[in-house]
Structure 1
Amino acid sequence: MLSERDTVYGGATGVNWCDYSPFDPGVTRPLHEVTRREARAAFVRLMDARQERASELRRLLEGNGVVLTPDDAGLQVVNDWFRCEVEGVSGTGRLRNLWYAVVNDLALFLGDVMIERSPNLQWVMFDKGARDAAFQRHVIMGFTGVANPKYNVDVDRLLATYGHQIVADESVETDAFVTWVAAAIDKA
């Protein structure tokens, strides 16, 4: 019997990785554990690599029959592909390591779509409190439709959590990418 994941995109038949090359952040520990200087350098490195990462993501998706476009229909196609293909490590609740790289690239793309649709938004290295889950991570900020000046969207964490839910066979939104972008724009 086919699961919903199998019927969404024709079945998880395995990803054609097309020599996909993950981003190297230049740090080996979680960002909340590194010095501010190391975190800032990793942030600058990531922001400088955005165009390259978009090209790498586009090449990966095209090698799997998916065209990357920033409109809602394009976001949905990529969302469907992700839901069908994302893989976890059995019994761990974690994604396969290479999928965290894809999550990072997809998060950059989705964040850039948010910024394109609402130019007051921007990528920021969150430094508003060491106890915050987003501390020293790349997040979207600049939301004027919320009272909290620290309000941010950690697209990378949001997407990784979504991937974890998918591999755990939990019920997930089928249009999450479109919904996330729309919610960000509503708060912008």
Structure 2
Amino acid sequence: MSIDWNGNETYETHEPIGPGSPSGLPRFEARRLFKERMKNRHARIEMLRRLVAAGGVVLGSDDAAVQDLNDWFAANIEADPENPGFPSSECYSVCHDMALFLGEVMIERHPNLYWEFFTWGKKSVSFQRQVLMGLSTEDPKFRTNIDIDGMVVGSAHEVLGSQGSIPTYGLVEIKGHLIDIDSTARRPHRSGAHPRPRVPAKLLVVRRAVSARVRPPHGAGIL
């Protein structure tokens, strides 16, 4: 990690919130968090701009600048020392800021998109999270959306995994039998299957957005 968080005076972290946690908050608290992030999003993007500038990266909305941000992200992400495989609290904060920035880039390119507080379906992975809606292909039944925050955090997990930082879950008892979750996860999923190859850090954020199988208006690329 090239960023000295203790001596960094250009970046102030978000309140600590991990992936998925808004779904477990009371509605009023989750909505407060959403409104606060929307109110402060431009200030947070400016904070991100100063942070990446210290590393020689210019924050911009063109493809080359987005790729530079992606490469910076992959090179600087670090795991929580006490929780392998999970980003540190500072890096979670950067993930949230990157999601706000990338969301604004997508809105700039496709003005019919907008931020929304997602409340449709408690079982949805996007429940009570900030998402982008307004897609021309939106399914009114499933409320099609782009959870860009979840995509960036998911990419952080992939980068850490590709660097060898893997979460451990230990033993669980299922019907009287102890199962080693970590050992099971390392095995091939089916007979003769090969282990999943390590994913290169480059283009993970963009790849995640594309792999969401949600296309913006007129079939244009997401980023």
Matched with 1:6 is: none
Match for residue 79 of structure 1 among 50, 61, 70: 70
Instruction: Kindly state the Cα deviation for residue 23 of structure 1 after the two structures are TM-superposed.
Output: 2.2
Q: Is the contact between residue 104 and residue 156 of structure 1 (CA under 8 Å) also seen in structure 2?
A: yes
Instruction: Kindly state the Cα deviation for residue 126 of structure 1 after the two structures are TM-superposed.
Output: 0.4
Whole-angstrom distance in 2 between the partners of 1:100 and 1:40:
20
Higher helix share: 1
Matched with 1:99 is: 91
**Secondary structure class of the residue paired with 1:168:** helix
Matched with 1:142 is: 134
Matched with 1:15 is: 3
Whole-angstrom distance in 1 between the partners of 2:205 and 2:114:
18
Q: Is the contact between residue 50 and residue 108 of structure 1 (CA under 8 Å) also seen in structure 2?
A: yes
* Bigger radius of gyration: 2
Instruction: Kindly state the Cα deviation for residue 181 of structure 1 after the two structures are TM-superposed.
Output: 7.3
Matched with 2:161 is: 168
Please, which runs of 5 or more residues in structure 1 have no aligned partner? 1-11
For 2:216, the aligned partner's letter is K
Q: Is the contact between residue 16 and residue 93 of structure 2 (CA under 8 Å) also seen in structure 1?
A: no
Matched with 2:53 is: 62
1:108 aligns with 2:100: yes
Task: Please give the root-mean-square deviation of Cα atoms over the aligned residues, in Å.
Answer: 2.5
For 1:47, the aligned partner's letter is M
Residues 16 and 185 from structure 1, CA distance in 2 versus in 1: closer, same or farther, beyond 3 angstroms?
A: farther
**Structure 1: which 4+ aligned runs deviate by more than 3 Å?**
146-149, 176-179, 181-186
Please, which runs of 5 or more residues in structure 2 have no aligned partner? 163-197, 218-223
1:44 aligns with 2:35: yes
Instruction: Kindly state the Cα deviation for residue 37 of structure 1 after the two structures are TM-superposed.
Output: 1.3
Residues 110 and 184 from structure 1, CA distance in 2 versus in 1: closer, same or farther, beyond 3 angstroms?
A: farther
Matched with 2:80 is: 89
Matched with 1:187 is: 216
Percent identity for Structure 1 against Structure 2: 35
Give the structure-2-normalised TM-score.
0.70
Matched with 1:152 is: 145
Instruction: Kindly state the Cα deviation for residue 106 of structure 1 after the two structures are TM-superposed.
Output: 0.2
**Secondary structure class of the residue paired with 1:144:** coil
1:24 aligns with 2:15: yes
Give the structure-1-normalised TM-score.
0.83
**Secondary structure class of the residue paired with 1:151:** coil
* Count of paired positions: 174
